[in-house]
Amino acid sequence: MEDYHKPDQQTLQALKDTANRLRISSIKATTAAGSGHPTSCCSAAEIMSVLFFHTMRYKVQDPRNASNDRFVLSKGHAAPILYSVWAEAGFLQEGELLNLRKIDSVLEGHPVPRQAFTDVATGSLGQGLGAACGMAYTGKFFDRASYRVYCLLGDGELSEGSVWEAMAFAGFYKLDNLVAIFDINRLGQSDPAPLQHHVEIYQKRCEAFGWHAIIVDGHSVEELCKAFGQAKHQPTAIIAKTFKGKGISGVEDKESWHGKPLPKNMAEQVIQEIDDRIQNKKKLSPALPEEDAPIVNIRNIKMPSPPTYKVGEKWATRKAYGVALAKLGHANDRVIALDGDTKNSTFSELFKKEHPNRYIECYIAEQNMVSIAVGCATRDRTIAFASTFATFFTRAFDQIRMAAISDSNINLCGSHCGVSIGEDGPSQMGLEDLCMFRAIPNSTVFYPSDAVATEKAVEIAANTKGICFIRTSRPENPVIYNNNEDFHIGQAKVVLKSKDDQVTVIGAGVTLHEALTAAEQLRKEKIYIRVIDPFTIKPLDKKTILESARATKGRIITVEDHYHEGGIGEAVCAAVMGEPGVTVTRLAVSHVPRSGKPAELLRMFGIDKDAIMQAVRAAVSKSRNAE
């Protein structure tokens, strides 16, 4: 960035006038809606004016242009001022602002990507900066383009740990194309923010995290212009001392006004007062970007060659994931991998070894890792795969939930699922992950049972919209599928069947292999079972399950290395609900487990071959007794 040139007086006045117009638009919109956060908008008016009409470079009529500067409103409740900016710039009609929060308007209460100028949904506080870090990392290391990323945070959300995970990430990777603006307006929702206006403490904290930190008067357009004009070889934090409700007489810097629109009469008076300060109606136009972001194509990605496994060979699906991801990296140079310091357990290290420049180490900060992946995937710049132990995604559930609201296309791989990991004990065992990911809108949940299925899951996930979760296991199990086996979302595999089958058993991962072993032994007793591998738990192959149930006198047994709640058993129950004559027996982990050998734990929780055999015998004898 070139050296700072002080804007002339005419430009400075125009920026002040623009800020006041943004205030008026925000007040009008929230008063018309009867709800919203005008005071949170007013503290940021000068920041938004300078950013969008002096500092940022973008095409107004093409908000998602790959070369545009990016903006993330982490304090999402200040959405009306973001909408006011885009109306001021000419992308939105001024009149549309009065439809704020209406069911037929795109201008929702918090930013969402249904709006062309919004890359990520915000409003669950503390998440915007992580996504901005992902965008900045992509700009600096993958796109190698000149666009910059700006993120506006409120002081209330600076109590969120995820903000400081993002601060640490940006500092460590020296993301000098990233600017965070802290709107220090002193007041939170129900109380003052803990540091109130002690801006020097914020500055020390930012510096400790490796940022260049500048304190400014957040209502001085000149100070803001100067601060945005500084270029350093590290990320920049602009700590703007502001007042909540700035410009609203009787409300400015007063408590108990958070999230309250001004009553109509009061709004009219305040708007008149602010309007009287505007000297010129002339509108400013933003500078255009340097169009140097490369053209990227991430559609229809195919593995360069089929899998090369041998039936019967033993492979852990977690390792097959790493092999598949490294292979996929050769198919498209926009495939990237992220991990949280577990790469030698999830096997994402195999990707790093072959594609070191496309691997992002996020360290032990899983919430931030998910946000980074979301940021990297915006504007279809990358295909992101993030991995850690399945259980550690639970701490990032809010980030995953917001990723779905963001219409994000990210792929998450959770390894070390269930009690089958053995001696490490319950803190490391993913036993809630299926439940969690099934609850996410538009998610796809893969649970591959061998190395071939895992490789296919990785390839399919890369081409699937929405949040994809791949559940992988630690134990090594035999390869059961041929390399040319075809897999599809929502299509189960009937792994074992005969015309004499008496019970349908549905397992996945380690429990599928337990079911196959059980089937072998039951055959000696002249009891035959049909064994189903669901491949995807969401969507579930209802058709195949029902066909098999009808062929086995309506008897289904599900067996899973997961808690009862929200897992395979409940998914199957939902699929067969209302079907006459179908009964489901569910085998699952019933309480908090403990350390032990994998086989001991599978036995203890009744999800091993012996438990399956017992359940099958019980189902068959119950039916015989009924006859």
30: left (phi over 0), alpha (psi -120 to 50) or beta: alpha
* DSSP assignment string, 302-330: --SS-----TT-EEEHHHHHHHHHHHHHH
Q: Tell me whether residue 597 is exposed, middle or buried, using C-beta atoms within 10 angstroms of its C-beta: 0 to 12, 13 to 18, 19 or more.
A: exposed
Alpha-carbon gap, residue 134 to 389, rounded angstroms: 21
Give the whole-angstrom CA distance, residue 68 versus residue 60.
9
Sign of CA dihedral 603, 606, 610, 612: negative
Nearest to 91 by CA among 76, 107, 108: 107
Please state, in angstroms and rounded to a whole number, the distance separating the CA atoms of residues 409 and 406.
Answer: 9
Beta bridge partners of 151: 72, 180
Residue 185, strand partner residues: none
DSSP letter assigned to residue 261: P
Residues 81 and 37: their CA atoms lie apart, in Å, by 9
Residues 6+ apart with CB under 8 A from 278: 17, 20, 21
Q: Considering Cα of 55, then 57, then 60, then 65, what sign does the dihedral take?
A: negative
List, in order, residues 6 or more apart from 385 with CB less than 8 Å away: 325, 335, 336, 337, 338, 348, 351, 411, 412, 413, 458, 461, 462
- Whole-number CA gyration radius for the chain: 28
d(C-alpha 198, C-alpha 191), whole Å: 16
How far is the first Cα of the chain from the last one, in angstroms, to the nearest whole number? 84
Instruction: Name the β-bridge partners of 558.
Output: 506, 586
Q: Round to whole Å and give the CA distance between 627 and 502.
A: 14
Count, residues in the chain? 627
Residues known to be catalytic: 366
CA torsion through residues 135, 342, 479, 604, sign: negative
Question: What DSSP string describes 13-65?
Answer: HHHHHHHHHHHHHHHHHHHHHT-S-HHHHHTTHHHHHHIIIII-B--TT-TT-
The answer to whether 584 and 571 have CB atoms below 8 angstroms apart is no
- The H or E element that residue 546 is part of is helix 542-551
Residue 207, C-beta contacts closer than 8 angstroms, at least 6 positions apart:
213
